[in-house]
Structure 1
Amino acid sequence: MVLQDLGRRINGALTDLTRAPTLDEKAFDGMLREIANALAEADVNIKLVANLRKTIKTTVKFSELPPSANKKRIIQKAVFDALVDIVNPHQKPFEPRKGKSNVIMFVGLQGAGKTTTCTKLARWYQARGFRTCLVCADTFRAGAFDQLKQNAIKAKIPYYGSLTQTDPVVVARDGVEKFKKEKFEIIIVDTSGRHQQENALFAEMVEIQSAVQPHQTVMVLDASIGQAAEAQSRAFKETADFGAIIITKTDGAAAGGGAISAVAATHTPIVFIGTGEHLLDLEKFNPESFVSKLLGMGDMQGLVEHVQSLKLDQKDTMKNITEGKFSVRDMRDQLQNIMKMGPLSKMAGMIPGLSGMMQGMDDADGQSKLKRMIYICDSMTVKELDSDGKCFVEQPTRMVRVARGSGTSVREVEELLTQQRMMGNMAKKMKGGLAGMQKAQQQVGGGGRGGKDQMAAMQKRLAAMGGAGGAGGGGGGMPDMGSLMKMMGGGAGGGGMPDMSKLMGMMGGGGGGAGGGGMPDMSSLMNMMGGMGGGGGGGGGGGRR
């Protein structure tokens, strides 16, 4: 992935420094040199690299640090803050308002992924309650309108374009006027790709801008553009004065630092990054979260937001858990929700420490295992699905029948039922505690100080309930990495099923059920972060490892 090697090298330099037997100024300078080399090789502008190095050195003032100071922590914070400063232009991006028409115009180079990104952004706003639509003002590229049309139909988003009108200014103006009359709130205008040396196309871009009067102009930058990013973005900024940047194709293998340089060069905020080809592969950009993921520190806020955006329906499951129950049907519902969350590699970047350990792990293999678990559940009768799984223990022939019906093995059925029992045991432990959590969440939503205190106390209590003495509990809040790594590789150690107790911790179990506010279930989040992670599955799964 773009910048993954950069992140590894910076993290490695920090790790080597913190592990050094003698943390002196020479070791500090060596770390700065390694970070600077890594940034330069990733196509980050050399002036930015020099400034970053100078900033870190000035902030730390190694020679002036008192002997009692925690030098490692001071250095880590200085590096983190300096990296954040590179991608943070300290300018607030445009925020569209509901109830009025917000016109967003896209500009950029050919092949940067504008048309696909237009649809992704329209879908992102649509999922948040806006009435969105698309206008194709790219009359230059053959097939541009067809591409936008296909994407729009797939995302169920209204669109406008013309196969006969060749003037993009006319198409853009007519499309925007049409959708304004129809009271659409987000009107996204796609334009032709153009290069800074194409004067006629740059003049056309200004004409389109004058015709549609956009509230925001967005420049789309390919992450692999390299050192040319700065010059191109400056040219677009001077002509179209864009107010935001979207970086695309960050799932590629390119260096990616050039796109970051464009932010500093134009003092323009990155608002989103494209992380794949799917319409859901668009993430809102946050400088702190970006650097946190880059350094392998995870992005818990991003994880929570991602879960919330999926609007997972878990009301029935949450009702059962608050009553201390967890049926096979609940298990299947959770499996289906996990499938909606996207590739595990994407989730891994949000979980502290996991992205570095995910190298070589195949997303397709993980998805295949989840599908096999769903096939097992789909081969059960209604009575079996609504049961606690004991009927399979009492009548083992049921497992044979389900295995045959699902095209899986009896061992896989046994493993799924073991995990379901494990989750059932957790539900019994959490009975009452989760109901209190929901009440605390409601109070926090009301802004009461008492609710916040209760939430904090409940998190602590639920973390302790899972057995905080496990691998995750004593690690200073870090996740139980052993359990997380096993979750997609087979908890049994024999290439079997994913470890559901850990995998489901990623989902923010409360989903739409906890208090009705869509707030993730903090108990599950605590599970992942080292509370229940080590101990929650100890009773049911310990013997299988």
Structure 2
Amino acid sequence: MVLQDLGRRINAAVSDLTRSSNLDEKAFDGMIKEICAALLEADVNVKLVGNLRKSIKQTVNFKELAPGVNKKRLIQKAVFDELVKLVDPHAEPFKPKKGRSNVIMFVGLQGAGKTTTCTKLARHYQSRGFRSCLVCADTFRAGAFDQLKQNATKAKIPYYGSLTQTDPSIVAREGVEQFKKERFEVIIVDTSGRHRQEQDLFDEMVQIQRAVTPDQTIMVLDASIGQQAEAQSKAFKETADFGAIIITKTDGNASGGGAISAVAATHTPIVFIGTGEHMLDLERFSPQPFVSKLLGMGDMQGLVEHVQSLKLDQKDTMKHIAEGIFTVRDLRDQLSNIMKMGPLSKMAGMIPGLSQMMSGMDDEEGGMKLRRMIYICDSMTIKELDSDGKIFVQQPTRMTRIAHGSGTSVREVEDLLTQHRMMAGMAKKMKGNMANMQRAQGAMGGGNRAQQMAAMQKRLQSMGGMGGAGAGPGGMDLGAMMKAMGGGGMPGGMDMNALMKSMGGMMGGMPGMGGGGGGGGRGRR
């Protein structure tokens, strides 16, 4: 995946330094050199890398450090903060308002994935209660309107376009005016791809902007664009003055650092990243969670949003955990839910430490290990599933029977039961914590959910560090779980308390997660 190798190299450089017994200035310089080399190889602009190197060295000045300061923690924080600055333009992106028409215009290079991304964004807003629609103002590319029509029909989003009108500004104006009359709230205008050397197409882009007067112009950048990203984005910025960036094709194997350079060059926020071809493969971008995910520290907010969107039924498990109980059946339910969350490679970045485990393991291999664990549980009797696991210690022959019935080995059964014992122990520790959290949430009310998520993310970072200590009370040792799966250990710990609560829906909806809705799927020409 794009930037995955970059994150792994930076994480390894920081981890090697913080684990070193001799943490001196020479070792520190070696870490910075490795981080800078990784960024340059990922196509991040040379000047940006130079500035980052300078900032980290200024923050961690060995000659001025107080004797009692925690050097490891200071270095970790300095690297994290500087990487956040790299992708944070400190500019607020436009947010559509309900009850009025919000026109969003898309621009970008040919082949960047604008048409598909237009549909993804329309569907994103539609699922949050906005009446969304699409206007195809790409009269240059053959089949552009057919592609948008096909995508819109599949996503049940109204669309407008023309097979006869060749002037894109006229098509754009007519489409926007029609949808405004029908009181659509998010009107997305797709335009043809263009290059900075194509002056005629750049003039055309300005004409479309004047015709529809968009509330926001978004530039779509292919993650694989490389060093050209900065020059192209500057040219588009000077002409179209876009206010946001969406990075596409981050599920590929390209470097991806060029897109980061574009953000810094234009001081424009990234609002979403495309993570695949499916209509749901569009993730909201936020600098801190992005860097946290990049460094293997997880993205709890993204994980909670994803889990809540699946609407998993976890009432029984939540009731058990609140009582300090965790049965073998509860473990089986959690394994099943992980399977429902999507490809393991997509989940890896969200769960602390899992991305390190996934290196060298594809989705098929990881999925098979999970399925084998589920097969083991499915070979148990009702009594065994609803037990606390002690029955297997008292009667070891049960493990042999289950291994034969599931087509696995006794060792795999033992590993599964070891994982269950560990999680059952965590459930006991979490019993009091969950009661306190429920009381705190009741007192805080729904208006402070953003603060709750920020606090959870902060707690996660302090627990997991960047390859630091394992999970504490209320945290699941993913290293042990992946060892049971055959994947080996890893640094960091997953906040099982937060994940379990999100699965049970006990934290309520996330900010900005409105109800479904949107207009019908009728087409217009």
TM-score w.r.t. structure 1 length? Answer: 0.75
The answer to whether structure 1 residue 232 and structure 2 residue 229 are counterparts is no
Task: Report the counterpart of residue 485 of structure 1 in structure 2.
Answer: 482
Q: Answer whether contact 1:106 1:188 (CA < 8 A) is retained.
A: yes
Match of 2:500 in 1: 509
Tell me the equivalent position of 1:280.
Answer: 280
- What is the CA distance between 1:388 and its match in structure 2? 5.3
**Which stretch of structure 1 is more off in the superposition, 440-449 or 337-346?**
440-449
- Could you give the per-residue CA deviations for residues 376-405 of structure 1, whole angstroms, max 9, x where no partner exists? 99999xxx89x9599xx9xxxxxx9xx99x
Deviations 1:418-461 (A, max 9, x none): 89998999989988986775454333325799x99xx99xx9xx
Aligned equivalents of 1:375, 1:158: Cα separation in 2: 45
Provide the C-alpha distance between the structure 1 equivalents of 2:217 and 2:438, rounded to a whole number of angstroms: 41
Listed as ranges, the matches of 1:120-519 within 5 Å are 120-314=120-314, 318=318, 337-367=337-367, 437-445=437-445, 472-473=470-471, 479-486=476-483, 505=496, 508-511=499-502, 514-515=505-506, 517-518=508-509
Cα RMSD over matched residues? 4.4
Partner of 1:103: 103
The Cα of 1:302 is off from its aligned counterpart by 2.2
1:327-374 Cα offsets, whole Å, 9 max, x none, are 999888766654442211111112222211211222134446767899
1:535 paired residue number? none
TM-aligned CA deviation for residue 227 of structure 1: 0.6
Cα distance in 2 between the residues matched to 1:329 and 1:357: 25
Q: Greater shift after overlay, 293-302 or 423-432?
A: 423-432
Instruction: Compare 228-237 and 353-362 and name the one that shifted more.
Output: 353-362
Q: Residues 201-243 of structure 1, C-alpha deviation per residue, up to 9 Å, x if partnerless?
A: 1111111111111111100111110110000000000000000
Q: Secondary structure at the match of 1:303?
A: helix
The letter for the 1-side match of 2:107 is V
2:397 maps to none
What per-residue deviation string (whole Å, max 9, x for no partner) do you get for residues 29-65 of structure 1? Answer: 2222222222112111111111111111222222221
- Structure 2, unaligned runs of 5 or more: 393-400, 464-468, 512-525
* CA gap 1:182/1:486 in 2 versus in 1, 3 angstroms: farther
TM-score, normalization by structure 2: 0.77
Q: Distance in 2 between matches of 1:16 and 1:515?
A: 39
Q: Give the SS at the match of 1:509.
A: helix
Distance 1:328 1:473 in 2: 21
Q: Deviations over 1:244-279 (max 9, x none)?
A: 011111111111111110111101011111112222
Change (3 A) 1:15 1:377: closer
1:541 is matched with which residue?
none
Is 2:419–2:481's contact at 8 Å kept on the other side of the alignment? no
What is the CA distance between 1:5 and its match in structure 2?
1.9
Q: Is the 8 A contact 1:442 1:515 kept in 2?
A: no
Q: Counterpart of 2:499 in structure 1: which amino acid?
A: G
CA deviation after TM superposition for structure 1 residue 308, in Å: 2.9
Secondary structure of 2:247's partner?
strand
Once the two structures are superposed, residues 102-148 of structure 1 have per-residue CA deviations (whole angstroms, 9 ceiling, x without a partner) of 11111100111111111221222222222222222112112222222
Which amino acid is 2:219 matched to? M
The answer as to whether partners of 2:478 and 2:494 remain within 8 angstroms in 1 is no
| Range with bigger deviation, 221-230 or 276-285 | 276-285
Give me the whole-angstrom Cα distance separating, in 1, the residues matched to 2:69 and 2:234: 43
Distance in structure 1 (CA, Å) of the matches to 2:470 and 2:12? 23
Q: Relative contact order, CA 8 A, sep 6+: which one is greater?
A: 2
Equivalent AA in structure 2 for residue 480 of structure 1: D
- Which AA in structure 2 matches 1:56? I
AA aligned to 2:280 is: L
Query: CA separation in 1, counterparts of 2:165 and 2:378?
Result: 52
2-structure distance, mates of 1:162, 1:333: 50
Distance 2:82 2:424 in 1: 46
Give aligned-pair identity as a percent: 73
Matched, 1:35 2:17: no
Question: What CA distance in whole angstroms lies between the structure 2 residues aligned with 1:420 and 1:54?
Answer: 45
CA 1:511/1:155 → structure 2, altered by over 3 Å: closer, same or farther? Answer: farther
Structure 1: segments with no counterpart, 5+ residues: 394-399, 464-470, 492-501, 521-545
Cα pair 2:88 2:287 within 8 Å, conserved: yes
How far apart are 1:490 and its partner, in Å?
9.3
Within 2, Cα distance between the matches of 1:209 and 1:186?
16
What is the DSSP-based 3-state SS (H/G/I as helix, E as strand, rest coil) of the residue aligned with 1:197?
A: coil
